[in-house]
Amino acid sequence: MAGRGRGQLTFSVEIVGIGKGENLPPSSVQPTPLFPPLDQKPVPLQTGEEAEYMLALKQEFRGAMKTLPFYIRPAAPKKDVERYSDKYQKIETSDHSLEWKPDWRRFPKELRVREKRPLRDKSPAVPKQPKQPRVDKEEIIRKLETLEQKEEDGSSDEEEGEKKKPQEEEAEGEEEYDEEEFEDETDYIMSYFDNGEEFGGDSDENVDEAIY
């Protein structure tokens, strides 16, 4: 409205009240300050029982909303390295019993979030069925392998028995030492293999067998 300068106004300034040659305040070339000085001080706030009660209500309401399930926190950012303590921290945050269950008849169907709970009763039954035939197959394969090993080792047993006679003390000592060692500390490994032979002793011959 004011144009580019006082000399180029579209209307005569006398009418609006600015006389000729009068001192006008300088035109500002910056934005107004962020905290301008106040000429008049503001009126003090209302005090009294009503104001204080409403203040308390407001603060309590805000605090209560933070604890309700409606306060959605963003998902925790993924860490670069998986840490051992993550397993224990994750369980604490999922507290399904206090979660809010809306009446889904009043919401559009697409908003329903289907959660996969690993602790549900039905779920272990379902994945067990496809797993069971696989488990059976693995067991069968293992059994076949151990049987193969037993046959081969059974034939080489007699050979070993002859070889080890000259090395009785050392071999037996070693074997006994090995067996005792294995029996004391890693007992279960012996029963796991269940082939009665030494652990890894003859394995040079049976390269094509799986080494446990």
Binding residues for other proteins (CB under 8 A) = 9-12, 15-18, 39-40, 42-43, 45-46, 50-55, 57-59, 61-62, 64-65, 68, 70-75, 97-98, 100-103, 105-108, 110-113
Q: Check if the beta carbon of residue 100 is closer than 8 Å to that of residue 69.
A: yes
Q: Please name the residue that has the structure tokens 């500002």.
A: 28
The SS3 call for residue 134 is helix
Q: Which is nearer to other proteins, 76 or 141 (CB)?
A: 76
Q: Say which amino acid occupies 54.
A: M
Query: Measured from the CB of residue 124, what is the shortest distance to other proteins in angstroms?
Result: 22
Q: Which is nearer to other proteins, 32 or 155 (CB)?
A: 32
Sign of the torsion formed by the C-alpha atoms of 91, 132, 141 and 188: positive
CA distance 174 to 182: 12
Tokens read off for 99: 């979660």
Q: Which is nearer to other proteins, 99 or 158 (CB)?
A: 99
Q: Which is nearer to other proteins, 20 or 101 (CB)?
A: 101
Query: Measured from the CB of residue 86, what is the shortest distance to other proteins in angstroms?
Result: 19
